[in-house]
């Protein structure tokens, strides 16, 4: 398996504080960067975390609330000044283009690269991005405006061919790809060597689910079942459960109940309300329902699969 | 004289760095806040400097380049979430409203306060704001897009009436305002007491000029003659004089020559290019032409008139 890192650039909610930047994450999957949401200040945090601007080609916006997208125009403007040439794809609600295109036209005239908006249709779960090694599926959230979470999944890797066996059976190069893909090997003498003797299993594909912003929603469970890491918004604590309901957000406890019911491997909490000076109580409440569980934090880098 | 403070929230230029936020300042004049430019992250810096959001009613944007205005929408959005009700006035190029109004309509629906755009006509110098204690005059800058600097001037304060003299001549209350304004006092006996015997001069009105972004421009001199503090952009050093010319910016040395020719009292340099890891050489170059001179810096608070 290649690298699969989650970088937290911001994990606050609508009101920025001195403790948190608004929601922004960058996944580093085999040195390709995928940004999820882009709050104000994202480009500064991007730089602070020493990630490479040029490795970013895809941005996924969960929804068009300012704390999830006010950093987009500034970051694109900076890319332009730095002479980027590669296309940038923004996966977002279909309205995003009509919102951001006029700003790009005004502030980033003569952009030396294309910004392409790919619509993410809300209310459904479908593959919205795919390349050789990963695919991204949208996840319907329940929020005050149309909102999508994202499931990032590695594609299953080839099995590892055992060098000794290749030598022993003198397996020709042109047969090796199909054996890695799971095929048995038939020797020139007609003997069938079962795949299990020739290969070992690859590490299972890693899966990361980003669920923000959303009310408590059990309809999510099948899609995120068993993911290696679930990022779930935890805007509020038990003290503000009613407020969570009214604003279509979740409490830390609700996030943890979702994690438990989906049997995820780890839970990462974020999107904290500005009302909490310290999120330890939120962690404690979540911990009563599920573990392992951790708080997101600016600058945090999590390596999956290790 | 009341309080006249200059707060530096950001003094970088187009490319944000880990050292600088983009251009933003807040003047605190007798506890009324006046923001000049509003770069990305301005609201975070606003909070960091512990200034009161509710004391801000007027924002002055020099021009519509992103590094001077990308923070506006996020800040207004935050004001809205915090329940602000007082009108906010944005003094900016006439195009500003067509640029920002659609964003406000989309992201800040149901704004509980009015945002009013007051056009600042480029290419001229005129009073664009006035209240009981200050007036603000636009200053034409030379830049790639229409751009205005701003001169903040206190209005002349009343002279101080000497308590002993009031007692000695038994000056009635209704005559005191005119004496503070400079009039002599005529006693009931017909004797004229010259104003100079009754009052002392108030501290001279403070004046602050913000000149950014601009190429070297001697046409500015009469308007900024003798100001208490000149903030002048100093994007580049001597090493990049040609680049300054091509991009309609100034070098630190040019800023200092302007300061010297205008006989200002102090020079504050800012809007530093991301190319400089350390701006001390810029300060040294400026210092060869003029002193006192200082570098702007995030978090810096300068109290004028003390």
- pLDDT tens profile A198-242: 999 988 899 999 999 999 999 999 999 999 999 999 999 999 999
Contacts across the A-B interface (CB distance below 8 Å): 80
Where among B143, B174, B200 does a domain terminate? Answer: B200
**A163, A172, A171, A198: which is closest to A184 by C-alpha?**
A198
| Contact flag B73-A64 (C-beta cutoff 8 Å) | no
pLDDT digits 0-9 by tens, B29-60: 999 999 999 999 999 999 999 999 999 999 99
Strand segments (E) across B14-167: 24-29, 32-36, 56-60, 88-92, 115-119, 127-130, 134-140, 148-154, 160-161
pLDDT in tens, A107-155: 998 899 999 999 999 999 999 999 999 999 999 999 999 999 999 999 9
**Cβ-nearest to B14 among A14, A16, A81:** A81
Q: What is the pLDDT of residues A81-106, one digit of tens each?
A: 999 999 999 999 999 999 999 999 99
CB contact under 8 A, B81 and A40: no
Say whether both A188 and A212 belong to one domain: no
Q: Which domain holds residue B295?
A: 4-157+203-303
Q: Are residue A189 and residue A212 in the same domain, yes or no?
A: no
Q: Please, are residues B278 and B239 in contact by the beta-carbon 8 Å criterion? A: no
Mean pLDDT in residue range A52-78: 97
Cβ neighbours for B157, distance < 8 A, ≥ 6 positions apart: B1, B202, B203, B205
Cβ proximity of B134 and B191 under 8 Å: no
At residue B305, the pLDDT reads 87
Last residue of a domain, one of B172, B200, B228: B200
**For position B210, what pLDDT does the model report?**
98
- Kindly tell me if the per-residue pLDDT of B1 is higher than 80: no
Q: Do B43 and A40 touch (CB under 8 A)?
A: yes
Contact (Cβ atoms closer than 8 angstroms) between residue A75 and residue A46: yes
Query: Do A265 and A285 fall within a single domain?
Result: yes
B87 vs chain A: nearest CA distance in angstroms?
20
Instruction: Please give the structure tokens belonging to residue B180.
Output: 């503070």
Q: What's the Cα-to-Cα distance from A100 to each of A9, A54, A108, rounded to whole Å?
A: 22, 21, 11
Judging contacts by C-beta atoms under 8 Å, the chain B residues touching residue A108 are 66
- Above 70 in pLDDT, residue B306? no
Same domain, A93 and A39: yes
Average pLDDT for B20-31: 96
Asked which of B200, B223, B255 is the last residue of a domain, the reply is: B200
For residues A140 and A164, state if they share a domain: no
> Which residues from B are below 8 Å from A18, CB to CB?
44, 47-48
Residues B111 and B171 in one domain: no
Kindly state whether residues A133 and A188 are assigned to the same domain: no
Residues A237 and A216 both lie in one domain: yes
CA distance linking residue A24 with residue A8, whole number of Å = 7
Residue A166 and residue A207 in one domain: no
- The tally of domains found in chain B comes to 2
Residues of B in contact with A66 (CB under 8 A): 73-74, 77, 107-108
B249-257 mean pLDDT: 98
In whole angstroms, what is the distance from residue A113 CA to residue A131 CA?
Answer: 21
Cite the active site residues of B.
67
Query: How is residue B87 written in tokens?
Result: 């009108």
Collect all residues from B whose CB is shorter than 8 A from any CB in A: 14-18, 21, 40-41, 43-44, 47-48, 64-67, 70-71, 73-74, 77-78, 81-82, 99, 102-103, 106-108
pLDDT exceeds 80 at position B155: yes
CB A113 within 8 A of CB A90: no
CATH number for position A49: 3.60.15.10
Chain A interface, Cβ < 8 Å to B: 14-18, 21, 40-41, 43-44, 47-48, 64-67, 70-71, 73-74, 77-78, 81-82, 99, 102-103, 106-108
Q: Which residue has the higher pLDDT, A14 or B91?
A: B91
Residues B173 and B220 occupy one common structural domain: no
**A170 is known as an active-site residue:** no
- The overall average pLDDT reported for chain B is 96
Residues B169 and B142 in one domain: no
Residues B38 and B129 in one domain: yes
């Amino acid at each position: 398996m290649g690298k699969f890192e989650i970088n937290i650039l911001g994990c606050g909610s609508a009101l920025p504080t001195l403790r948190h930047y608004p929601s922004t994450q960058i996944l580093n999957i085999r040195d390709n960067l995928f940004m999820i949401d882009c709050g104000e200040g994202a480009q500064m945090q991007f730089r602070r975390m020493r990630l490479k601007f040029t490795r970013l080609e895809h941005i996924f916006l969960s929804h068009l609330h300012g704390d999830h997208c006010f950093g987009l125009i500034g970051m694109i403007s900076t890319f332009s000044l730095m002479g980027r040439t590669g296309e940038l794809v923004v996966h977002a609600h279909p309205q995003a283009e009509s919102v951001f295109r006029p700003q790009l036209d005004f502030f980033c005239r003569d952009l030396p690269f294309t910004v392409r908006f790919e619509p993410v249709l809300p209310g459904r779960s479908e593959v919205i991005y795919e390349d050789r090694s990963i695919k991204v599926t949208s996840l319907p959230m329940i929020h005050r405006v149309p909102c999508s979470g994202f499931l990032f999944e590695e594609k299953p890797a080839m099995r590892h061919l055992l060098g000794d066996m290749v030598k022993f059976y003198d397996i020709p190069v042109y047969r090796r790809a199909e054996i890695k893909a799971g095929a048995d090997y038939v020797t020139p003498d007609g003997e069938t060597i079962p795949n299990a003797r020739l290969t070992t299993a690859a590490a299972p594909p890693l899966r990361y689910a980003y669920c923000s912003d959303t009310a408590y929603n059990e309809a999510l469970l099948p899609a995120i079942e068993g993911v290696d890491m679930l990022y779930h918004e935890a805007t509020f604590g038990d003290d503000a459960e009613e407020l969570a309901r009214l604003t279509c957000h979740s409490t830390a406890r609700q996030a943890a109940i979702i994690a438990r019911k989906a049997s995820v491997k780890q839970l990462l909490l974020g999107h904290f309300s500005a009302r909490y000076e310290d999120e330890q109580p939120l962690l404690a409440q979540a911990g009563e329902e599920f573990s392992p569980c951790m708080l997101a934090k600016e600058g945090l880098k999590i390596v999956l699969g290790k």
